[in-house]
Amino acid sequence: MMYQKKRKYDGNDSRAMGLKRHQPYPMEASLYGAPAPGGMNMMYPAGPFGYSNQASLFPAVRLRGLPFDCSEVDVVDFLQGLDLIDILFVHNGGRFTGEAYCLLAYPVQVDFALQRNRQNIGRRYIEVFRCKREDYYTAIAQEVSSGKIGGSSPRRNAPPPKPKPSADGPKDDHAVHTGVLRMRGLPFSATKEEIMDFFREFELTENRIHLVLNRDGRPSGEAFVEFENAEESKAAMKNDRMTLGSRYIELFASQLKEMDEAISRERH
């Protein structure tokens, strides 16, 4: 659990902190919950047809898997059409965790926010979860107590995390780059055009992209990419664990010999 060993703040003090944060984010006209002329809330109409059961729910969601350079604008765009009151980015040890709490204006909007589950911000797919009141206020108090006043955007605060270790060994800045990268985890339907778009910041041509087939002649989920030089292949490693379609892509420094061997195996 994210806050397993830390004190929980669910009293009046943490809620007072939360109330100071609440200010609607500027966005397009709300699709769900804008008040009707005269101030009547159309999402919770008065009378026997009012949604009293929804009003008792806490109107917040937790996002997980956010890019580590994510901004408030990215979250507003991701939840476009919903009324955002607060966005709280969560840190641990001074680093952004990839999670955020989003407070909404109306409880029923939680269901609409959950429909965005596994949609993308950039190349990262985002998970959306329901959120308890005490989790939101605890997160606020912990951000304040850690010195991250306001739980602000990681784009202004935190360096990127260290890459996770892989079955192929650790990835670090000391890996030997020769201008060739191996891609793993590709969708079986991936095309060379999609790989070129994945590395859109670099000048690539189709003849520098080699999709690897298995012994049955079917896509293996791997590919080799030849860059102009070693500096470019090293720079392209920033795309490690970004997504192509809905798949996380792993990148590894490789060599022409490994690439040639993989291509020759599919011919036998």
Structural domains present in the chain: 12-157 (3.30.70.330), 180-265 (3.30.70.330)
Instruction: Name the β-bridge partners of 99.
Output: 64
Burial of 61 (0-12, 13-18, 19+ CB in 10 A): buried
Give pLDDT, residue 12: 53
Distance CA 264, CA 268 (A): 7
Per-residue pLDDT of the chain (268 residues; tens, 9 = 90+): 333 333 444 445 555 555 555 555 554 445 444 444 444 443 444 333 334 455 468 999 999 999 988 888 889 889 988 888 888 999 888 888 999 999 998 999 999 999 999 999 988 999 999 999 999 999 888 887 776 544 555 544 434 344 444 445 445 556 789 999 999 988 878 899 999 999 999 999 999 999 998 777 878 889 999 999 999 999 999 999 888 876 778 999 999 999 999 888 766 5
DSSP reduced 3-state for 234:
helix
Q: Are strands 243-244 and 219-226 parallel, antiparallel or unpaired?
A: unpaired
Give pLDDT, residue 187: 82
Supply the pTM of this predicted model: 0.45
Give pLDDT, residue 99: 95
Nearest to 14 by CA among 98, 137, 125: 137
Give pLDDT, residue 20: 53
